[in-house]
Amino acid sequence: MENNRLDLHLVSDATGETLNAIVRATTAQFDQANITYHRWSLIRTRFQLHRVIEGIESEPGPVLSTLVDRALRGELDTACQRLNVRVVNVLDPVMDVLQERIGTQASARPGKQYVLNADYFSRIDAMHYVLAHDDGQAQPGLAEADVVLVGVSRSSKTPTCFYLANRGIKAANVPLVPNVPVPPGLLEVKCPVIGLTLAPEALIDIRRHRLRLIGGGGTTGLMRQDSSDYVDEDAVKAELLWARRFCTAQGWPTIDVTRRSIEETAATVLQLMEAWHERRKSAPDPTGPSAEA
């Protein structure tokens, strides 16, 4: 096992999220690896970089870097060469392609992706929207949604909405509860409505965990079922079947999230949103001449 042990240094001049995403995607392919992560973020001065180099010297291991400042990069490269440590500047391949195609050099400005521009404020606005329209709240505001997620309780609607909000998407979610009417505005929205569903066994496990967290003494929000029905196998199967049929009757697509991560569910939602908008673009205008004929 000792051969599988690895110290991995992640050096960033911003928040380090780019490196974290790359590392999550790559290290997931090495189940037996015993990796210790050393995260060095917001490294923008020589003094800060010297602390990083001391850390690498103390616990040697490969270095992944997203530093864009040429002086800092050069100093890190030199230090890693001296320590006989491999360093990979992970942005370089993409930067090289873009510089070659665009014909200009990159600006080498640290953290430039985090400037307070329109996209940034759009994400903040979307986050506020998700908070205000979680679990069927603020129903009149459904008309402002970019997408509405529906599904039974604990079908991952809320975390998916928050993930979408980070992409600047106003995502509302509405619970589907048997014998409880859906908000009237839900059937009138001018945006995609997408159902989330999952296997009964998975849903029961999630709900049991939820009940343990809140003490088993009932439910919260719009959970209207008796707590015994909430985790009863036959009742849960009937609830899921009813919700799926309801979505089908409305023409709403559904996503089975049983084995999907939140990221994968959100990616599928985005695909369905794109398909919905493409259909709207290609559909004939109901007010046009052909409609009158």
Residue range(s) defining the domain that contains residue 162: 118-282
Q: How far apart are CA 113 and CA 260, in angstroms?
A: 28
The two three-digit tokens of residue 214, written as one number: 């809140």
Whether 166 and 74 share a structural domain: no
Domain boundary among 69, 102, 135: 102
Q: What is the pLDDT of residue 158?
A: 96
In one-letter notation, the amino acid at residue 105 is: Q
Residue 278 lies in a domain: yes
pTM of the predicted structure, to 2 decimals:
0.73
**Residue 3 predicted with pLDDT over 70:** no
Of 164, 174, 156, nearest in space to 122 by CA:
164
User: What Cα–Cα distance (Å) separates residue 139 from each residue in 74, 175, 184, 254, 258?
Assistant: 55, 12, 9, 21, 28
> At residue 216, what is the residue type?
G
Q: What is the CATH number of the domain that holds 165?
A: 3.40.50
The secondary structure of residue 154, as a DSSP letter, is: T
If asked whether residues 92 and 138 sit together in one domain, one would say no
68 touches 108 (CB < 8 A): yes
Mean pLDDT of 126-143: 90
Q: What is the mean pLDDT of residues 39-46?
A: 95
pLDDT at 4 over 70: yes
- Note whether residue 45 is domain-resident: yes
Closest CA to 152 of 271, 278, 242: 242
* The one-letter amino acid at 170: K
243-276 pLDDT per residue, tens:
999 999 999 999 999 999 999 999 999 999 999 9
Same domain flag for 128 and 233? yes
CB 200 within 8 A of CB 258: no
Q: Considering only CA atoms, which of 106, 173, 102, 167 is closest in space to residue 135?
A: 173
Which CATH number goes with the domain that contains 60?
3.40.50.2300
Q: Which among 77, 102, 127 is the end of a domain? A: 102
Q: Between residues 177 and 289, which one has the greater pLDDT? A: 177
The answer to whether residues 53 and 189 belong to one domain is: no
With respect to residue 108, please indicate whether it lies within any of the assigned structural domains. Answer: no
- Looking at the domain assignment, is residue 113 inside a domain? no
Which residue, chain included where needed, has tokens 């400042």?
A: 69
> 280-287, long-range: CB within 8 Å, 24+ apart, which pairs?
none
Domain contains 277: yes
Q: What is the pLDDT of residues 271-289, one digit of tens each?
A: 999 999 999 888 776 555 5
Closest among 200, 202, 209 to 239, alpha carbons compared = 200
Residues 91, 161, single domain; the answer is no
Asked, for residue 111, whether it belongs to a domain, the answer is no
Measure the CA–CA gap between 234 and 254, rounded to whole angstroms: 21
If one counts the domains in the chain, the total is 2
Angle value at C-alpha 252, between 250 and 258, nearest 5 degrees: 130
Q: pLDDT grade, residue 1 (50/70/90)? A: very low
147 & 275 share domain: yes
* DSSP letters spanning 78-143: HHHHHTT--EEETTHHHHHHHHHHH-S-----TTGGG--SHHHHHHHHHHHHHHHTGGG-SGGGGG
Give me the chain's average pLDDT, please. 89
Say yes or no: 219 and 181 in one domain.
Answer: yes
Specify whether 129 is located in the same domain as 199: yes
Q: Under 8 Å CB-to-CB from 287, ≥6 apart: which residues?
A: none
**Whether residue 133 is found in the same domain as residue 57:** no
The percent of residues in the chain predicted with pLDDT above 90, rounded, is: 70
Give the Cα separation of 40 and 55 in Å (integer): 9
Amino acid making up residue 88: V
> Longest C-alpha distance within the chain, in Å?
80
Residue 13's pLDDT band, with cuts at 50, 70 and 90, is very high
What number of CA atoms fall less than 13 Å from residue 32's CA on the CB side? Answer: 4
287: in domain: no
Q: What is the DSSP letter of 181?
A: P
Residues 63 and 26 in one domain: yes
In a domain, 107, yes or no: no
- Domain boundary pick from 75, 102, 129: 102
> Which value, to the nearest 10 degrees, does the dihedral of the CA atoms of residues 18, 21, 27, 31 take?
160
Residues 122 and 28 in one domain: no
- What are 40's two structure tokens? 């060095």
Shared-domain flag, residues 91 and 181: no
